[in-house]
Amino acid sequence: MAKIIWSQPALSQLDSILDYIALDNPEAARVVASRVFGATDHLGRFLLLGRPIPGFARRNYRQVWIKPCWLYYRIHEGTVLVLHVRRAEKLMKAEDLIADDPQ
């Protein structure tokens, strides 16, 4: 099983999303958190579960849909590094993903 590492920007982004959801429905925020962390645990067993990022040249960067979020990660030497989390209605910008990657 691959090691899962969350970058600080990804954790902060997820925290902001959960805080926003919790304003209206704290239980829904808990459900989303559980779903996101469950999915990342699943990535540890199935590294290629997410799909390659459309239009992004680096194939070891992938994305996975976990309603209501897109989670972006990089595979490197058997490790999954969660780089970026965004709400579905926000546009993905490659420069945001690269900026969040501590490489």
Phi, psi dihedrals of residue 70, rounded to the nearest 5°:
-100, 135
CATH number at residue 15: 3.30.2310.20
Q: How far is the CA of 54 from the CAs of 9, 23, 33, 50, 103, in angstroms? A: 22, 33, 26, 12, 21
pLDDT tops 70 at residue 33: yes
pTM: 0.84
What's the pLDDT tens digit per position in 37-89?
999 988 888 877 889 988 887 788 999 999 999 999 999 888 999 999 998 77
Which residue range(s) make up the domain with 16?
Answer: 3-100
Question: Quick one: pLDDT at residue 37?
Answer: 93
Phi-psi region of 77 (alpha: psi -120 to 50; beta: other; left: phi over 0): left
Q: Indicate the number of domains in the chain.
A: 1
